């Protein structure tokens, strides 16, 4: 709440007192410190034997370095291609964000990675080797920090205040049992939080964590719709809850289903309208008729169905592999839009010479098989779950 005021506080100036996490605080600025946090994107080329390398990675260290140098040259020649190259080449999970790692502080990354990012200006692109492989790094932003000297005092309620709050909470509970909950809240100057849906074995109640007793009360047989109950929650205060609705087993009510179904139906209608505009014998003609541009995607694989700038589109990538060369597809309804694609070329994967990574992967899947069998048996059995009565 006060972050902006504190950040812009001139050196030597004092701000406060202000409320922070149950404390009253007064802070004095000791001055700015440059480059506290940095933001970077990277493309990781892992190799067999590198730390945390995926078992499916079979390239040697030399091959990884050669590939990294090749990508570095492409990025330096065209920095705007970094995101697309990260999505299609990186061995790190950040590939889904185009290699973007967000902001991080000094010491958070492995030393060589850290030194490159914090030792170079924004816009610097380079190659760094770490225990994870070879990284093509792009320093994209930096943040300055401010040093503060702060005195804070915890706010403790007096006995008189505690008694007043207790009396008010009990009074609210009694009135809400017979009157409209929202009206009573308005009369007492308190806010009703949005209703939340809970399952029988949930631990938390909306924004209030670790409140199993409230959830358990809602599922007790003696609790009816409209019942009101007060709970005293440590470090929070008094919570007065009302059971608003019970969803019986079976088909979901229309008003509830609408919240999840309506956006999907709207997207389907939008897709139909977009498809109707996609007219033409070529991608260029279709792009012109629908008011968009033709984009290229390279190095796509079925295993990693990511389209640059669009994210995961398994249906689109799968269709691409089924098209004959230069064949233009019919409109495809994807996750984030409607696509028309044309297959330029398909490169066959090289023959596998080392099956050890795949053996390791299958062995791991086999080890978890008993757990999946138990899950399947549970889903097929007629089980009445009464755990909420005892826990």
pLDDT in tens, 100-152: 999 999 889 999 999 999 999 999 999 999 999 999 999 999 988 888 999 99
Average pLDDT of 67-85? Answer: 93
Is pLDDT above 80 for 390? no
195-236: pLDDT as tens digits:
888 888 888 877 777 888 888 999 988 999 999 999 988 878
Least confident of 54-63, 88-97, 210-219, 348-357: 348-357
Please tell me the predicted confidence (pLDDT) of residue 297: 85
Q: Provide the pLDDT confidence category of residue 325 given band limits of 50, 70 and 90.
A: confident
Residue 263, number of CB atoms within 10 A of its CB: 10
Average pLDDT of 82-105? Answer: 92
Residue spans of alpha helices (H) in 25-147: 61-77, 82-89, 111-119
Q: Going along the chain, which residue ranges are E strands?
A: 14-20, 23-45, 100-105, 125-130, 133-154, 228-233, 237-242, 306-307, 311-312, 332-333, 338-339
SS3 375: helix
Mean pLDDT rounded to a whole number for the chain: 89
Is pLDDT above 90 for 82? yes
Please tell me the predicted confidence (pLDDT) of residue 119: 93
Please tell me the predicted confidence (pLDDT) of residue 250: 78
Q: How crowded is the C-beta side of 261, counted as CA atoms within 13 Å?
A: 7
Please tell me the predicted confidence (pLDDT) of residue 389: 76
225-249: pLDDT as tens digits:
999 999 988 878 899 999 998 888 7
Buried b / exposed e along 94-117 (16+ C-beta atoms within 10 A): bbeebbbbeebeeeebeeebbebb
Buried b / exposed e along 180-202 (16+ C-beta atoms within 10 A): ebeebbeeeeeeeeeeeeeeeeb
15-63: pLDDT as tens digits:
989 998 889 999 999 988 888 899 999 999 999 999 998 888 999 999 9
Please tell me the predicted confidence (pLDDT) of residue 295: 87
pLDDT above 70: percentage of residues in the chain: 100
Higher pLDDT residue, 127 or 190?
Answer: 127
Is pLDDT above 90 for 382? no
pLDDT above 90: percentage of residues in the chain: 42
Domains along the chain with CATH numbers? 34-148 (3.10.50.40), 159-242 (no CATH), 263-339 (no CATH), 358-389 (no CATH)
Q: What is the largest CA-CA distance in the chain?
A: 81
Is pLDDT above 80 for 83? yes
């Amino acid at each position: 709440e006060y972050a902006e005021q504190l950040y812009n506080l001139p050196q030597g100036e004092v701000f406060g007192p202000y409320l922070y996490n149950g404390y009253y605080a007064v802070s004095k600025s000791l001055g700015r410190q440059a480059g506290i946090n940095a933001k970077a994107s990277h493309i990781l080329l892992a190799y067999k034997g590198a730390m945390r390398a995926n078992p499916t990675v079979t390239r040697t260290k030399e091959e990884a370095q050669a590939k990294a140098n090749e990508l570095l040259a492409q990025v330096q020649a065209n920095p705007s291609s970094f995101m697309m190259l990260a999505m299609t080449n990186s061995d790190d999970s950040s590939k889904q964000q185009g290699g973007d790692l967000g902001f991080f502080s000094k010491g958070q990354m492995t030393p060589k990675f850290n030194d490159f990012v914090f030792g170079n200006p924004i816009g610097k692109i380079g190659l760094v080797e770490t225990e994870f492989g070879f990284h093509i790094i792009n320093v994209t932003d930096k943040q300055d920090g401010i040093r503060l000297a702060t005195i804070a005092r915890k706010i403790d309620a007096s006995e008189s205040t505690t008694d007043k709050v207790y009396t008010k909470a009990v009074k609210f509970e009694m009135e809400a049992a017979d009157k409209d909950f929202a009206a009573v809240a308005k009369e007492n100057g308190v806010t009703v939080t949005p209703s939340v849906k809970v399952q029988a074995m949930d631990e938390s109640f909306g924004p209030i964590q670790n409140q199993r007793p409230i959830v358990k009360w809602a599922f007790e047989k003696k609790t009816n719709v409209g019942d009101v109950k007060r709970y005293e929650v440590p470090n929070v205060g008094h919570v007065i809850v009302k059971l608003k609705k019970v969803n019986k087993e079976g088909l979901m009510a229309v008003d509830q289903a609408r919240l999840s179904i309506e956006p999907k139906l709207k997207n389907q209608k939008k897709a139909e309208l977009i498809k109707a505009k996609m007219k033409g014998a070529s991608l260029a003609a279709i792009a012109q008729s629908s008011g968009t541009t033709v984009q290229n995607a390279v190095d796509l694989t079925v295993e990693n169905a990511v389209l640059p700038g669009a994210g995961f589109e398994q249906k689109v990538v799968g269709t691409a592999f089924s098209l004959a060369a230069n064949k233009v597809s019919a409109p495809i309804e994807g996750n984030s839009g409607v696509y028309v694609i044309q297959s330029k070329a398909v490169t066959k994967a090289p023959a596998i010479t080392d099956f050890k990574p795949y053996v390791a992967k299958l062995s791991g899947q086999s080890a978890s098989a008993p757990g999946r069998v138990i899950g399947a048996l549970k889903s097929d059995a007629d089980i009445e779950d009464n755990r909420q009565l005892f826990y």
